[in-house]
Amino acid sequence: MRHVVRKQHLIHTGVITLAWFAMLILLFDPWMNGYHGVGGSLWGAGAYLSALIAALAFLNHRKTLHIYQSVNAVAPRKYIYLRYFAVDLLSLNIIPFLIAATSITLASTIMAGRGYLVWQYFLLVPLFLTLAILIGWVSAYLFAHVAVGVVFSGLFSLFISFYLIQSAVESDVWTRFDWSAFTQLLVAIVLIAGGILARRRVKQTRIAAPLAWGSLFAVVAYVWLSGYANLQTLPRTADIQPSCAESGPDTVCVWPEDAYKLPTLTRYAARARSLDSALGIKATPALFAEPHIPQVMTNLDRDGYYQGSRRFYQIHPFGAEPSNWAGARGFVFTDFLICDESARRLPEAERTANTFIISDLLTSWIYGDIAYSGYSSESSQSDAQAIGHRLAKLSPDDQLTQLSHITDHFIRTCEVSND
């Protein structure tokens, strides 16, 4: 440990810790609302900081090589490289990461204290930063020019972070961590470490340098051939009792970590049902549920009904924020979007565009902001936004009346009324 307390290493630890905090402040929104954003924020910040860590590891190892040559000339020392690697691992990686990870988790607990914490990120990020250190080390063998080595090691580390593993900033409760990411990283670490060992063991420079370069090319080839591990695509299958709430004839069910969203989601269900009443459709009682809940999925029939009596609608309230437009979209009843195609012979493309206009308009109303415009700028959605801005000038009751007229006209004609 006496190597760690040297001024150089303390400075590096301080610089990287400050860089961690700067990056996490930029990613403030995801983790301040709940644990959903803690792991993804650590990965996002760590991916960019890997460039700085690889560059500092390059500079450190250049000094290590000079020290080793001087010491070895007087009295050969065993394990000197291992000792210096431990120093880099602690000062550039472990200590700053522990400070940052502990701080962000405590801050998220104080500000929100809720949500879905994916603990595997706390292992993945330091493992990836270990790879960044090794990239800096192997670059120290290959580049005599400091500036070139610093730039190369940083950019190569960024390349690995972008193409080996992909992750959103926020985790969704219906997905689980993909453990293949650890396999991807371990293979890359073995390849780079093999290049470093080969460069050290082989005395002939004309052979050693190509071996070190070969380890880098092997990593690039591996990334190219294996593809990336997406950390948030695998369905969650844990047999956990969901949290459910009633809203009139309808039921809303979510994973237990999202239970705090139920008041907002039941409000969405109530608004959808009020529009249903205004239209006089009387849609079948519905079950609105997040994806992959085992107790829900095992009771669905092939026609999309839960236990044969409730129409199933899948909802996606992404991230930690209780209220979001994408989450409201799942509450649009199918009955609102089925129009009488025989009434007017519209081209299929126009009919599809009109369906999207109605769907977007209804989603914004269920969300609680009929003039919401934060989702896209496509032509059909722009039309929905234009209608929404017009309706936003009316009282809530008049909004519901006008929206029911627009929806009823669409159901009868497949057209969108602008009156």
Give the C-alpha separation, 31 to 70, whole Å. Answer: 48
26 shares a domain with 138: yes
Sign, CA torsion 210/211/216/220: positive
- Give the pLDDT band of residue 376 (cuts 50, 70, 90): low
Range of the structural domain that residue 357 is part of: 243-413
* 93 domain-assigned: yes
- Give the pLDDT band of residue 4 (cuts 50, 70, 90): very low
Please measure the distance between the N-terminal and C-terminal CA atoms of the chain and give it in whole angstroms.
76
277 shares a domain with 221: no
Checking if the pLDDT of 81 tops 90, the result is: no
* 2 domain-assigned: no
27 and 60 Cβ atoms separated by less than 8 Å: no
Question: At 70, which helix (H) or strand (E)?
Answer: helix 36-74
SS3 label, residue 306: strand
Which tokens hold the place of 130?
């270990």
**Which tens digit of pLDDT belongs to each residue from 164-186?**
999 989 999 999 999 999 999 99
At residue 386, the pLDDT reads 83
219 shares a domain with 88: yes
142 shares a domain with 29: yes
The average pLDDT across 139-163 equals 92
Give the C-alpha separation, 190 to 201, whole Å. Answer: 16
**Which tens digit of pLDDT belongs to each residue from 304-360?**
888 888 899 999 999 898 899 999 999 998 888 888 777 667 788 888 888 888 999
Number of domains in the chain: 2
Which tokens hold the place of 322?
């209780």
Checking if the pLDDT of 206 tops 70, the result is: no
